[in-house]
Amino acid sequence: MAYIIDGKAVSAKVRAEVAEETAALKERGVTPGLAVIIVGDDPASRTYVNNKKKACAEVGFYSEEYALPADTSQAELMALVRELNEKKEINGILCQLPLPKGLDEGEIIEAISPKKDVDAFHASNVGKIMIGDFDFLPCTPAGVMELLKDAGTEISGKECVVVGRSNIVGKPMAMLLLHKHGTVTICHSRTADLKEVTKRADILVAAVGIPKFIKADMVKPGAVVIDVGMDRDENGKLCGDVDFAEVEPVASAITPVPGGVGPMTIAMLMKNTLAAAKIQNGVE
- Integer angstrom CA distances of residue 245 from 115, 153, 201, 250: 42, 22, 19, 10
Identity at 88, one-letter amino acid code: K
Q: Is 96 a catalytic residue?
A: yes
Distance CA 8, CA 267 (A): 10
Task: Count CB neighbours of 82 within 10 A.
Answer: 12
Distance CA 216, CA 248 (A): 8
**Contacting residues for 175 by C-beta, under 8 A, at least 6 apart:** 129, 130
The three-state secondary structure class of 38 is strand
Q: Is 54 a catalytic residue?
A: no
- Catalytic option among 96, 202, 241, 271: 96
**Contacting residues for 223 by C-beta, under 8 A, at least 6 apart:** 201, 202, 203, 204, 250, 251, 252
Distance CA 38, CA 80 (A): 12
Whether omega before 98 lies within 30 degrees of 0, making that bond cis, reads yes
Backbone φ and ψ of 170, nearest 5°: -55, -55
Q: Is 74 a catalytic residue?
A: no
- Catalytic option among 119, 135, 202, 241: 119
Catalytic residues: 52, 96, 119
